Structure 1
Amino acid sequence: MAPYDHKFAVAPMIDWTDRHCRYFHRQLTGRALLYTEMIVADAAIHGDRERLLGFDQSEHPVALQLGGSDPEKLARAAEIGAGFGYDEINLNVGCPSDRVQSGTFGACLMKTPDVVAAGVAAMKARVSVPVTVKCRIGVDEQDIEPALDALADAAWSAGADALWVHARKAWLQGLSPKENREIPPLDYDRVYRLKQANPDRFIGINGGILCLDEARRHLERVDGVMLGRAAYQNPEVLAGVDALVDGGEPQPVDHSALIEAMAAYAQRHIEDGGRLSHVTRHMIGLFHGFDGARRYRQILSSQATKPGADPDVLREAFAAVDLSTRRSAA
């Protein structure tokens, strides 16, 4: 197996990083590793697999994030995901929602490194693609020094190929999932210390990273950087990722080609029974700083959700944007 070397990734985000979002993001970057939303292992095994796991081949490299704690179920779900063609299987050890707490997985697993190790080992035994873990630096009252070390050691002892660390604690009681992404203080130095102690392991960092300049600074200390909300809310930031990964100068976005590519994709989705808004809802964040961006957003928000809306709505919204002006950097 080739060494794990994904320097940049777009984080898994529930309700956001579905297949339409990933297709859109892929039009802006060829090098970013794209993640699915978290899929619970039981759903992958028993649910509508094509709806949950299907993706366009252009999305590669793309990783499937699984939620669960039962090693056999995780192994079976990983096997199914690998069969769909995913390039990586990732275990969620960071989500603090009520749903994962009731199932004792996600961030709850920070408290049980042995369960994480069992899950990783079971998945590694069934698939040939990399198996990775995404975690927090700790939960609740844990001391983040031994807690993160114990989780990392357990994951690597079981054969994990990489560890992506959201540099915040998760509070399982008292904070909502949204608050857990914002209120616990960021501690990037804790992730840096983990890397210093494990120079031969792949460690990526996540949490509160807003732009590629920040990403570059993190890459001086760790192996990979993962952006979440910043990439979703201002997707044009992704246009600079390939230059970040490979060197060279970022290429300007061909907005006309981008819109036409997404219009063609949306048309195929509509012909398969979908709706325009399934696609365009992920594109609202385009054109920050351009004159006409507000009108663009208004048209998509009001028109794309109507029954029978077709890709001409996207073209109409794009026509409202003045590409010759940009009031602020993207």
Structure 2
Amino acid sequence: MDSFWKTLKKPIFALAPMADVTDPAYRSLIAEYGKPDVTWTEFVSADGLYHTREKKGLSDAENPLMRDLLYSEAERPIVAQLFSSNPEMMAYASELCARLGFDGIDINMGCPDKSIEKQGCGAGMIKTPEVAKAIIRAAREGAARGKEGGLPVSVKTRIGYNQETMDEWLPQILSEKPDALTLHLRTRKEMSKVPAHWDLMPRAVALRDEHSPETVLLGNGDIIDLADARAKIAASGCDGVMLGRAIFGNPWLFTDRTMEDVSPKERIEALAQLAERFSALTPAKHFHILKKHFKAFIQGWPGAAELRGKLMVTNSLEELREILSTYRV
């Protein structure tokens, strides 16, 4: 198998998967404005893919889960993030993603959402390491059915569930020799209520070196820009980082431009482009989902709050177009 992870230049700067944020519309904009080294899709339910395609008989064109797996060539290498606690479902979805042309499969073992945990997925996997290992193996097997040689399989997880348990948890994952491991430096219990524990990353590096030295190790949590990313990589010894919340309102994140260098006109134009791409997604997403981007893009200059207020009461692309077309900075 040809793994793109082996050819990436280090340090690696990756785009985090965030539900209803890094959708195909915003990812295509990010790829155009400042491409990351690796891009993840939003996380997608492997069980949901099987149920909607094989049981309900939804066509791919009308299936929201298949929409979430859309990508552009500009985003490569592009990784499909999946979640499941059922090896058969994971194998099915991994085979599908291999046939769709993805460059890799990532398994979410860190999401703290209770509805995901009830399925035994996300951060709940930290409590069931044997299931977690079976899921990694199933992802590999499925990808090999979908593409000769298979695809690289990676994992995104946390440092523990109720408390930090890296010494117990990480060797379990690393025993399966994942191609990459992204470590969010908080426990599931901590959510985002405390600063990320970057002081623990050197120990994670040592565990990786001991149990699976070929695994690429990325850190995640509280990274504000590329300068901060470089500093954290240098201090911890990891191979790269995954940036998430910093991408809000900043498709230029993966360049060395600071937001102070981005004019209000550029921000407005970027939001307008995002709105057009968002509205072109099929099946359509509800317009209100786009509104979480308004505050992020429209801030930092006199009059921004007034414009933002007008945008927040819009209910369609046409209304947004009308407001932005008549606005003058």
Partner of 2:318: 309
What is the correspondence of 1:69-108 to structure 2 with a 5 Å cutoff? 69-108=85-124
Q: CA deviation at 1:38?
A: 1.9
Aligned residues: 297
Instruction: State the match for 1:299 in structure 2.
Output: 310
Answer yes or no: is the 8 Å Cα contact 2:112–2:191 preserved in 1. Answer: yes
Amino acid in the other structure paired with 1:8: F
Q: Partners of 1:166 and 1:53 in 2: how far apart?
A: 27
**Structure 1 residue 91: Cα displacement:** 0.6
Quote the Cα distance in structure 1 between the aligned partners of 2:113 and 2:287.
Answer: 29
Deviation at 1:31, TM superposition (A): 2.7
RMSD of the TM alignment (CA)?
Answer: 3.1
Contact 2:44 2:81 (8 Å CA) reproduced: yes
Do the aligned residues in 1 keep the contact of 2:132 with 2:173 (CA within 8 Å)?
A: no
Distance 1:293 1:251, change over 3 A: closer
1:194 aligns with 2:214: no
| Alignment deviations for residues 247-301 of structure 1 (CA, whole Å, 9 cap, x no partner) | xxx996755763564465356459x766655556435411442333223322321
Deviations 1:150-204 (A, max 9, x none): 2332342xxx110000001112xxxxxxx61224x53212222221341543100
Contact 2:268 2:324 in 1 (8 A): no
Could you say what secondary structure the match of 2:300 adopts?
coil
- Equivalent residues in 2 for 1:53-202 (5 A)? 53-54=66-67, 55-58=70-73, 60-61=75-76, 62-127=78-143, 128-141=150-163, 144-156=165-177, 160-171=178-189, 180-183=191-194, 186-197=196-207, 198=209, 200-202=214-216
TM-score (norm 2): 0.77
Mapping 1:178-327, distance limit 5 Å: 180-183=191-194, 186-197=196-207, 198=209, 200-220=214-234, 221-232=237-248, 235-236=249-250, 238-243=251-256, 255=267, 258=270, 261-262=273-274, 264-265=276-277, 268-269=280-281, 279=290, 281-303=292-314, 305-306=315-316, 309=318, 312-313=321-322, 315-316=324-325, 319-320=327-328, 322=329
Contact 2:246 2:253 in 1 (8 A): no
Identity %: 26
Q: Judging changes above 3 Å, is the alpha-carbon distance between structure 1 residues 63 and 296 closer, same or farther for their aligned structure 2 residues?
A: farther
Paired residues of 2:25 and 2:274 also in contact (CA < 8 A): no
Match of 1:51 among 58, 64, 77: 64
**How big is the shift at 1:58?**
4.8
